[in-house]
Amino acid sequence: MGKVSRLSAKYQISVPKEVREKEGWKPGQELAFIKSGLGYRLVPVTDFESLRGIAKGANPEGYRDEESRDERYKRP
């Protein structure tokens, strides 16, 4: 089993220091709970501003657009 935390009376969870440091999580950072099987995944929420420029230099040539898709996958 991995690291364990206890849910407080105020429904708060402390993230173990080892996990915080490994993931680079900081105080005040938003985390999302994503349903996964019998449990949840804890995922940092990324703001759109931090994604600016992420695809800089990407070559869009050769990507399929909606018109080039197989008939099975076209929207009605």
4-27: burial string, b at 16+ Cβ within 10 Å, e else: eeeeeeeeeeeeeeeeeeeeeeee
pLDDT of residue 74: 63
DSSP structural state of residue 15: P
pLDDT of residue 73: 63
- pLDDT beneath 50, residues of the chain: none
Q: Does pTM top 0.85 for this prediction?
A: no
Rounded to whole angstroms, the Cα distance separating 2 from 39 reads 14
Question: From start to end of 2-65, where are the E strands?
Answer: 31-36, 39-44
Query: Do residues 21 and 27 touch, judged by C-beta distance below 8 A?
Result: no
